[in-house]
Amino acid sequence: MTVVPMAPEIIWFNPSEPYVDDPTETIELMAKSSSNRGPLGIYYGFDEQDPSTGVWVIAWKNVAMHKSFMAHETYVDFALPVMEAMIGSGEMTQILLFHHHAFLKAISSPITQFVYIALRPHHNRDYELEPLIQKLQSQLSLQSGCYSSSWGPSVEHDDMYVGLIGWRSRSDHDCAVNGEIAATVSHIRELGSVEVKFTRLQAHPTSMLQTNYSSVPIM
């Protein structure tokens, strides 16, 4: 049986003043207009290092449903509030993920880290990068304060891999990258450029993908 990956869409953007004042109005319109059209959840926040930058994570059930909705006449009702909330076009990346639960835990954590790895020419994603990602995932699962990590290839860019890592705090992240995972991260950086962002995501109340970390034990 073929497993169809989910296809979260990550959008970083320059938000309009009305959106900054009240993001929930836009999120409500996005959720209402896309109901039963493919999103399993809509998550929103601001860049921890640059609060003037907003972020959306739209957890599409799969690429086919996303494309089908984009071709439907009602898509304009979804696109209009999105465009009104953004100044400029934004930076969009869609990724393919097979492990829904790991993704859910990462985006529901107190801090979500986004890692964008763009391979340099003459390096191979399948044979060079993915084994290192698997090693990093294994190491992260043992780190204090790391809830989960979820990784997948970009839909738009063959040379890009994207990771979402859920942390209890930034200090837990800092301890990990300066400790046991440092060597693996260094090897990944040898293969390509690495961009890192952090945010505190909130879920729209109707999101099907939600969890509560108040009772989750820390390793």
Per residue in 64-95, pLDDT (tens digit) is 999 999 999 999 999 999 999 999 989 999 99
For residue 201, is pLDDT > 60?
yes
> Which tokens is 48 given?
């921890």
pLDDT: which is higher, 219 or 190: 190
Q: State which CATH number among 3.40.640.10, 2.40.37.10, 3.20.20.70, 3.30.70.100 fits the domain covering 106-199.
A: 3.30.70.100
CATH code at 7-94 = 3.30.70.100
Give the Cα separation of 171 and 143 in Å (integer).
12
Average pLDDT over the chain reads 91
pLDDT computed for residue 216 by the predictor? 40
All CATH 3.30.70.100 domain ranges in the chain, comma separated:
7-94, 106-199
Q: Angle CA(42)–CA(162)–CA(14) in degrees, nearest 5?
A: 55
> Which tokens is 115 given?
């890692």
**pTM of the predicted protein model:** 0.91
Distances (CA, A) of 195 to 31, 66, 115, 154, 167: 29, 26, 6, 14, 17
**Quick check: helix, strand or coil at residue 201?**
coil
Band (pLDDT 50/70/90 cuts) for residue 106 is very high
Q: Provide the b/e sequence for 127-162 (b: ≥16 CB within 10 Å).
A: ebbeebbeebbebbeebebbbbbbbbbbbeeebbbb
Q: What mean pLDDT do residues 149-154 have? A: 96
Q: What mean pLDDT do residues 193-200 have? A: 98
